[in-house]
Amino acid sequence: MSLPKTSSIEIPILQELVATGGADDVRFIYVRLLDYFPQINEKETSEIKKGTNENWRKTVQKAGKLLSEKKFLTRSRGYWTITDHGRAEADLETLGFTLSKSEIKPLSHKNIQQMLLEIGTIFGFFAVKEFEFYDVVWRESEASLRLSHVFEVQSRGNIDSAFAKLKRAYEAQRSKPFLVLSSETDLRRAQQSLTREFQDLQKVLVIITFAQIEEIHFNLKDIGEIVREFLLK
């Protein structure tokens, strides 16, 4: 038997989910994982591709269960979806090192607000948090009355309330509305709510996750001065 141990399959599963955009049917994952383990012999490879190798199926399922318990992915009727924590774990492995759980700090509401302030400043906006009843707003200048961009940061609570605030901002000043969510689970829930009750926002609203804001902030912070030079009028 040349099949790998369960523990050695976990990271490849996360990497495959990242490569496919975040989610996939586990039936396809069974086959794609073969590329990570050239030690699997020809007979077993053939069985796995045909879907007849029960040991491989059990091994991958066990790895998926462990990843789910670690909150790195979610499983629903054979469809696996990577979480923000799972993406972070896959990214760390790609960089060639692993942090302990105690070193991976979840992003908070305040963390995201601060990042949005800094991103807005880099892009030349006057950025303010806790403005009126909005989490973060960007204005063209301090003197400008119009809210150019409005952000609602949602880590818990009622998403529909955030939608209502963003709708008000858009209808009042045609502000660009952004809903920033802590997880991909909330992202799916928000998209469902958007199609049911806030259809008038569908074409203008941007829904983005904490992880995406963090990535934007990380990529911009070292080139902020250069970006500002490009944006000078």
Q: What is the pLDDT of residues 119-155, one digit of tens each?
A: 999 999 999 999 888 999 999 999 999 999 999 998 7
Percent of the chain with pLDDT over 70: 90
Residue 99 scores a pLDDT above 70? no
pLDDT, mean of residues 68-73: 94
CATH number of 6-103: 1.10.10
Name the segment(s) of the chain with CATH classification 3.40.1350. 109-231
pLDDT, mean of residues 194-219: 82
pLDDT of residue 81: 94
Name the segment(s) of the chain with CATH classification 1.10.10. 6-103
For residues 15 and 81, what is the distance between their CA atoms, to the nearest angstrom?
Answer: 12
Q: Going by CATH, does the domain composed of 109-231 fall within 3.40.1350? A: yes
The lowest-confidence range among 59-63, 95-99, 214-218 is: 95-99
pTM above 0.95, yes or no: no
